[in-house]
Amino acid sequence: MRSQTSRVHLDLQPTPPPGAFRKLALGTWRSAGDPSAYAAVEVRMERALAFLDAHKARTGQRLTVTHLVAKAAADALRRHPDANVLLRWNRPYRREDVGVCVLVVQPGDAGRADLTTATVHRADALSLASFAEAMGSRIDAVRARRDAVIEWGKRRSYRIPGFLMGLALRLLSFVWFTLNVDLRWVGMPWDPFGSVAVTSLGSLGLERGHVALVPYTRVPLLLAPGAVRTEPVLDAGALAVGKVMTLTCTWDARVIGVEDVARVLRHIGASLEDPEGAWGPATDAGGVAAASAEVE
């Protein structure tokens, strides 16, 4: 991460020259509103649920499926950097940082709720429990409205007329990401959306769904874990009762190839089906107790 005095927003490196298909994709889709592609994987969750229970029994703290999906996504982007990209000047650039953004429900006045974001940077370099602790701290601050930068940004957005909001967001995105200007000196956050966004549909009781890309954020990869459900499965050729979760993915087909998305999803699925292999025993979980903040 660059210093507060730097005017460069993100550390980015140009990707290798694109292949023929990627050049066609970049030339075909001009707006981040129309190149959405979708995929889903079915994940067996018995070992993941047991892992979460064992961690809570040892530490008294709560890890959730969202923690596991978000951390596995960060680990996958470290392994597969071609999926950790940002589009600027109609060309993909590799990010140096792996940032994971989780959508958070923020209680509002008169019973109204709002959605906001909590982002942990360098998530790939953290242990699972350290990641959960960092994410818990961010979520606590956001929900309690202690994040001065986010609250300042919301107050400013309320002053923008609705018919100008689209233009304002496109302008902000252009300065932040296309020009790559660090706007912290005027009170704007640094890289507020990260490399990948995770939103838990399961916390809403939904088994599956595909999340729309948000053009101004330039996040090209969105993950949505659904509710864990009980259904018949095959174990060693025998019919049994199992726990299964659908993990859906939306990605920007201009900048991430389907083969890279498949590698990321396979890594996340493998981590959930063998959490001990991914992060060590639940009695260790990286050696640090997870935060108590709930991430559904």
Residue 106 in any domain: the answer is yes
**Alpha carbon distance 268, 273 (integer Å):** 9
| pLDDT computed for residue 22 by the predictor | 59
Please give the structure tokens belonging to residue 147. 């994040």
Q: Where are the alpha helices (DSSP H) in the chain?
A: 20-28, 46-59, 65-79, 128-143, 148-158, 162-173, 258-273, 275-279
| pLDDT computed for residue 292 by the predictor | 40
Segment 261-275, tens digit of pLDDT: 999 999 999 999 999
Specify whether the CB–CB gap between 65 and 200 falls below 8 A: yes
Q: Is the pLDDT of residue 195 over 60?
A: yes
What are the distances in angstroms from CA 34 to CA 44, 109, 217, 220, 278? 32, 35, 15, 12, 35
Q: What average pLDDT does range 232-255 have in this prediction?
A: 93
What are the DSSP calls for 69-80, one per residue?
HHHHHHHHHHH-
Report how many domains make up the chain.
1
Q: How confident is the model at residue 18 (pLDDT cuts 50, 70, 90)?
A: low
Q: Average pLDDT of the chain?
A: 86
| pLDDT computed for residue 88 by the predictor | 93
Which neighbouring-strand residues pair with 93? 14, 86
% of the chain exceeding 70 in pLDDT = 85
Q: Is the pLDDT of residue 293 over 50?
A: no
Segment 107-141, tens digit of pLDDT: 766 566 677 889 999 999 999 989 999 999 999 88
Residues in CB range of 85: below 8 A, 6 or more apart: 15, 92, 93, 94, 95, 220, 255, 256
Residue 16 in any domain: the answer is no
Residue 150 belongs to domain spanning: 24-272
Place of tokens 């890890």: 63
Residue 195 in any domain: the answer is yes
**Rg of the chain over CA atoms, in angstroms?**
19
Cβ neighbours around 5 below 10 Å, total: 8
Q: Angle at Cα 292 formed by Cα 289 and Cα 296, nearest 5°? A: 115
Residue 67 in any domain: the answer is yes
Residue 53 in any domain: the answer is yes
Please give the structure tokens belonging to residue 208. 């599956």
Residue 94 in any domain: the answer is yes
Residues in CB range of 226: below 8 A, 6 or more apart: 201, 202, 206, 207, 208, 209, 245, 246, 247, 248
Residue 11 in any domain: the answer is no
Specify whether the CB–CB gap between 123 and 70 falls below 8 A: yes
**pTM across the whole model:** 0.84
Segment 44-77, tens digit of pLDDT: 999 999 999 999 998 887 899 999 999 999 999 9
Residue 1 in any domain: the answer is no
Q: Is the pLDDT of residue 16 over 60?
A: yes
CATH assignment at residue 127: 3.30.559.10
